[in-house]
Chain A
Amino acid sequence: MTSRRTLIAATAGLAASGLGAGLLGRPALAQQRFESLFVFVPAGPGGGWDGLGRALEQASRAANLVGSFQFENVGGAGGMVGLPRFISQRRGRPNALMVGGAVMVGAGITNRTPVSIRDVVPVARMTTEPGIIVVPASSEFQKLSDFTDALKANPGGTSVAGGSAGGIDHIILGLMLKSLGRNAREASYVAFAGGGPAQAAILGAQVKAGISGVSEFAEQVKAGRMRALATTGETRSLDGVPTLKESGIDIVMGNWRGLFGAPGINAAQTRALVDYVTAVHASPAWREILTTRGWDDAFLTGDAFAQFLTRDHAETEQVLRDIGLAS
């Protein structure tokens, strides 16, 4: 039994190292990267961030990159309950990773918490999920231009449902209003707690339109109960549904998720974490997870990710200020 397991692990390790070496252009070792890894999820079990953390474990085990995993979930307020805890308790620890993402950027700005996502070390952006703009099946809006015309003419009368105020859904609406030459503050944005109540309000035509992540509404669109007007990714996410960008509205927005190191780790330790997630990303197990879960690959590491983060933070802050949710 032991020998068989070792054999499988060795094969998987070899495969991973082969791919890793090919991608990185330097020899990656087949051995474990970390004896143990602490993964901190600033959200409850079962959500998107938790899913990314568990997928990381799944792929790392398949490629034998990490000896043992330890998880901690501290949920609440878009990650702003967990973040201060990760910062204070894991400072300087080289084998700790925190899951985080776009939601945390916005939450840090609107909640005015003393710490923000800029206080942890960016390691890699892993996945992204574009947004989708839908209307009830019975809506008079047939295509995106019908909706944008209404939005331009009377933003107050065009109610749009989505997740909590200041979240990505709200930001997308704010950016759209801005690009239409209106003020983001004029938005008639109806915030709902979670996907269920928001979907119910759209299905029941209580609101004119809705914005959320593609996966939230995709099934309703397929079943013909909602009509998709546009998605917000760089490329199309659903067949026959245009992106905002190709429709002449220059907005590309996604709910990205990534991994962060503890504050106070040095450059070499950061490097080790980046190398590790690069190896995970190159593993066949990770490819498989991306397809089964329907996640879009958005891999970006190190400096490029840090720059993206700075830009994302500045843009988010600007929109939230326009909407009137940040000072």
Chain B
Amino acid sequence: MGAIEGLTLGFSHALSLSNLGWALLGCFLGTAIGVLPGIGPALTIALLLPITFSVSATGAFILFCGIFYGAMYGGSTTSILLNTPGESGSIITALEGAKMARNGRAGPALATSAIGSFVAGTVGTIGIAFLGPIVVELALKLGPAEYFMLMVLCFVTVSAVLGGSALRGLTSLGFGLLLGLVGVDLQTGQPRLTFGVPELLDGVNVVLVAVALFAVGETLYLAWRYVEGPVEVRHVGSIMMSKSDWKRSFWPWIRGAGLGFPFGVMPAGGTEMPTMLSYFMERKLVRPEHEKEFGTTGAIEGVAGPEAANNAAAAGVLVPMLTLGLPTSATAAIMLSAFQSYGIQPGPLLFTTQADLVWTLIASLFIANVMLVVLNLPLVGLWARILKIPQPQLYAGILVFATIGTYGISNSVIDLVLLYGIGIIAMFMRRFDFPVAPVVIGMILGPMAEQAMRQALTISQGDWTVFVTRPISLVILLIAIAALAGPRLYAAWLRRMA
């Protein structure tokens, strides 16, 4: 069945009243859980698994996909407004988004992330329908060696968030790498840095660390340095995106979507790496007149790009699931177990044996995307109003919100201890001008890079040349070197010419 034919069939099923209802319910639930840090789409779908006993397969999967896409939309809202990322793909969004909100640009930041999510979600879903099977075959050619090089490339992005002092930035990065080491080592099964606490065996949750660093750290810092005075109400500013905002967002959306989708398709890709790369790219490509907005008042490019990358990657994650039956993320794994409770064995034959279901699902992804942007855009004004709450009350609310969300991750008191422990560290980091973003980057990339490197070396029997003898690996390494050294060489060359 061709893609056009399949889509026509899919839309004819998905546009039924009950299926539209499931999509709407899913979008709504997804947005809500995306807003809460900790409670992600995987957990929500797992809790909803019992509905598979009474709801048709099509209805259930439309609901699940709505939740999945909706969570990607919702996750950015708290990142921007409260500096509290709802899930790991929107951690980077918080970097510029929260700064924009603080400077009276919450409306445009939320709008660019909603519209960017729509653009990227649509690009991603078109990718699933037309390119899925081809891209996934290419992605299978990537082995651990290539993944390690991709992570090396992502480490370059740290340079964009190091801040004024490289020493401080690298210290933060080291702290992140250290946190990433906690837990059972995958390659040997041995616990590292767990100090006999069973809750630490699975490592420290990255969303927890992000919430602690961004939200708790900032709140504690403000409480510490707060000076009683006239209550300052934050300026909400214009809700709409101006003409220049549209112009500045357009290419970041497209670039972010183009970067995100292939990473989502890669079995070991995920949503974090493309958001980092997109941020780095936008920071380097920004027009000189807006360059100083990065890291100070917040640049809209830094929200539009990563947010688009996040959503396109989320769409990409569905490709290996639908074309090969590979669960490459927690959410995909749960969805696959839902397939099984309908007696459908997900695998490479899914597209042929369950064509109706698969195409209806893809069609409903398009519908969910439209619903989400329609649902989210009018909410922008409402959300932005949160910032009118006076600071002490607002930050007390953030603290409550962060605590509930973190407890929701695994109902563990240890997690709360970690949240506040790391929050206090973050408070001092803020006091002494250490950037917090490198901590999160180190924590996400460190363990991934370590495992990929050791997998590659196990396969090559300890031969380090594997990273340069495999062509794709070598190309990525060269790109990384160019990204790191290129701008400096270029600047030096300009100076010599002058």
In contact, A46 and B348 (Cβ under 8 angstroms): no
Q: Which of A51, A166, A197, A219 contacts B189 (CB 8 A)?
A: A166
In contact, A81 and B459 (Cβ under 8 angstroms): no
In contact, A200 and B326 (Cβ under 8 angstroms): yes
In contact, A193 and B186 (Cβ under 8 angstroms): yes
User: Does B164 lie at the interface of the complex (its beta carbon under 8 Å from any beta carbon of A)?
Assistant: no
Q: Which of B140, B268, B332, B346 contacts A203 (CB 8 A)?
A: B140
Binds B, one of A109-117, A173-181, A278-286, A297-305: A109-117
**B189 partner residues in chain A, CB cutoff 8 A:** 106-107, 110-111, 164-167, 170, 191, 325
Q: Which of A45, A111, A165 contacts B47 (CB 8 A)?
A: A45
Q: A74-B411, A325-B189 are in contact. Are A196 and B198 (CB under 8 A)?
A: no
Q: Which of B201, B320, B333 contacts A81 (CB 8 A)?
A: B201
Contact with B along A115-155 (1 / 0, CB 8 A): 00000000000000000000000000000000000000000
Q: Pick the 4 closest A-B CB pairs, nearest first.
A: A219-B347, A166-B189, A200-B267, A77-B201
Q: A112-B191, A165-B189, A222-B347 are in contact. Are A192 and B328 (CB under 8 A)?
A: no
A-B contact count (CB 8 A): 151
Q: A77-B201, A204-B141 are in contact. Are A220 and B348 (CB under 8 A)?
A: yes
In contact, B349 and A191 (Cβ under 8 angstroms): no
Contact with A along B439-456 (1 / 0, CB 8 A): 000000000000100010
Bound complex: CA A218 to CA B343 (Å): 14
**A81 partner residues in chain B, CB cutoff 8 A:** 198-199, 201-202
Q: A200-B140, A219-B346 are in contact. Are A46 and B337 (CB under 8 A)?
A: yes
For B, the interface residue count at a CB cutoff of 8 angstroms equals 54
For A, the interface residue count at a CB cutoff of 8 angstroms equals 56
In contact, B186 and A165 (Cβ under 8 angstroms): yes
Interface residues of A (CB under 8 A from B): 44-47, 50-51, 54, 74-77, 80-81, 83-84, 106-107, 110-114, 156-157, 159, 164-167, 170, 188-197, 199-201, 203-204, 206-207, 218-220, 222-223, 225, 292-293, 325
Bound complex: CA A223 to CA B350 (Å): 10
**A196 partner residues in chain B, CB cutoff 8 A:** 267, 320, 326-329, 332-333
In contact, B186 and A191 (Cβ under 8 angstroms): yes
Residue on B with the closest CB to A110?
Answer: B189
B305-362 contacts to A (CB < 8 Å): 320, 324-329, 332-334, 337, 340, 343, 345-349
**B50 partner residues in chain A, CB cutoff 8 A:** 54
Q: Knowing that A159-B459, A196-B333 are A-B contacts, what are 12 other residue pairs whose CB atoms are under 8 Å apart, sorted by A's residue number?
A: A77-B198, A111-B201, A191-B186, A197-B268, A199-B326, A200-B320, A200-B326, A206-B143, A218-B345, A220-B347, A222-B347, A225-B324
Bound complex: CA A293 to CA B337 (Å): 10
Bound complex: CA A133 to CA B348 (Å): 19
User: Does B54 lie at the interface of the complex (its beta carbon under 8 Å from any beta carbon of A)?
Assistant: no
- The 7 sampled A-B contact pairs (Cβ below 8 Å) are A75-B410, A196-B267, A197-B328, A200-B268, A201-B143, A201-B144, A218-B345
In contact, B345 and A219 (Cβ under 8 angstroms): yes
